[in-house]
A and B are shown apart, each in its own frame.
Chain A
Amino acid sequence: MKRRLLALFVVATFISGIQLYAHHSFAATYHEDRTVKIEGTLVQFQFRNPHSFVQVDAPDDKGVMQRWGIEWGGAGQLGGQGVNRYTLKAGDHVIITGNPGRTVEDHRVRMVTLKRTSDGFGWGQEKGQTFD
């Protein structure tokens, strides 16, 4: 099934000519086979290229408060998915899941899903809500 989906993606990319943005290697940057969950307060939303970042204050697995840098899609790619620089605001309470970075002390995560508790806004659950 995974192979079919990958083949479909490659063919669709080839036909549609959509923009792909790969800046760095995700496999080299993140543990793609692991998932972490971050729940905390959004400090800053950096909507930009090469990739957007969501800065969140949240506790780590030992309960110590950390500043997490959560990597998201580039501005162009997110813009095509309905996200803009005003979508998230400082003070938003968010729950984020993602792949942890290979450098533990960076407290860096690759966004997989996002949910804002105040209004239920979410990303990563719908088809096409991914980034490269």
Chain B
Amino acid sequence: MGRVQRAAIVSFLLLGAMFITVPVFAQMDFSGEWNPIFYEDQPERVAGPEIGDYTGIPITDAARVRADSWKASVQTLPEWQCRPHSADYIWRGPSQLRVTKEVDPVTRKVSAWHAEWLRSVDNVIYMDGRPHPPDYAEHTWGGFATGEMVGQTMTVTVTHLKEGYLRRNGLPRSDTAKIVEHWIRHGDYLTVAVIMYDPVYLAEPFVRTTDYRLNPGGLVAPYPCEVVEEITRPKGSVPSWLPGKNPDLTEYAEKYGLPQEATRGGPQTMYPEYRSKLK
């Protein structure tokens, strides 16, 4: 065997070895401890939204009626005090996020992801291709979530959620909603686009993106929650406003000098051309 042939064989073997060490199904790893990044979302995600601010959200008339009649006081009821944020809303919460993975011991592929925040349940995302259950199956705070990798992006579909909320000012999200999430990781940054489809309370899909940054030393603290009597009120009383009686609905528009109509939401308020209609 000549020197040239030997060199060719060695090169071939080295090249082969290199390919063997590269995983056949390289998959983005989302596991770790993540810190929320707030920037312009700080007022929304920490302090919380104001009453009557539906600006830019494609709600239906039904959603507007529900939100107008909502009183924050309802959250002092025993049923509400320890209610976790649902899988779709919790991305907008202010706490750290922990993502862990389950690996199939035989195939060594990721069979499920778990996402957990301070005020959430353990949100499981199945990656094994199982189908979603029928509509009548149990609805939970975490819903039923399946995921698939599309390139380096994970696309998650969540169904079977209990009724929840779009914002913490009474805007509702129905239990028939379907949520699609796109998890995108760039180095130490995680961006998740959450797209909500709700045939009851949304006239068009509602899209929000939320950012997190990897924090290897982070922890999600324990969160034992205890139900007590926070407010003394007559038995059976459920706080709400009758239609047309909520005195706080104009406060937001007045405070920021906005046309009242613009703060009432609806799909038209999402688009740039809505500005010219207001002039």
**Residues of A near any B CB (own CB < 8 A):** 6, 10, 13-14, 17, 19-29, 46, 48-50, 53, 67, 69, 71, 75-76, 101-103, 105-108, 132
Contact = CB atoms under 8 A, between A and B. Distances in A.
Contact of A24 (B38, B96, B168): B168
Contact of A19 (B82, B95, B231): B95
Contacts of A13: 38
Contacts of A29: 48, 72-73, 75
Interface stretch (B142-150, B176-184, B218-226): B218-226
A14 B37 contact: yes
A94 B223 CA distance: 29
B111 interface: no
Instruction: Report the interface size class on chain B.
Output: 35 or more
A22 B94 CA distance: 7
Given A17-B218, A67-B232, A102-B248, A28 B72 contact: yes
Interface in B67-118: 71-73, 75-76, 81-82, 93-96, 118
A106 B168 CA distance: 19
B96 to A, nearest CB: 7
B228 A25 contact: no
A22 B118 CA distance: 10
A103 B48 contact: no
A17 B32 CA distance: 14
Contacts of B233: 105-106
Question: 6 tightest CB-CB pairs across the interface, nearest first?
Answer: A25-B48, A20-B94, A29-B72, A25-B168, A48-B226, A103-B73
A21 B94 contact: yes
Interface string B194-215: 0000000000000000000101
B51 A28 contact: yes
8 contacts: A17-B218, A22-B94, A25-B48, A25-B167, A46-B226, A53-B230, A75-B224, A76-B222
B231 A20 contact: no
A23 B119 contact: yes
A10 B38 CA distance: 7
B228 A19 contact: no
Nearest to B221: A19
B46 A132 contact: yes
A25 B224 contact: no
B267 interface: no
B110 to A, nearest CB: 26
Given A10-B38, A23-B119, A102 B71 contact: yes
Nearest to B246: A102
Given A24-B72, A49-B225, A17 B215 contact: yes
B246 to A, nearest CB: 10
Given A14-B35, A106-B239, 15 more contacts: A19-B221, A22-B46, A22-B48, A22-B93, A22-B94, A25-B48, A25-B168, A25-B169, A27-B47, A29-B48, A29-B72, A46-B226, A48-B226, A69-B76, A102-B248
Contact of A102 (B72, B93, B221, B222): B72
Contacts of A132: 46-47, 94
A81 B231 CA distance: 25
B142 to A, nearest CB: 18
A49 B224 contact: yes
Contact of A49 (B35, B168, B223): B223
B51 A69 contact: no
Interface in B145-202: 167-170
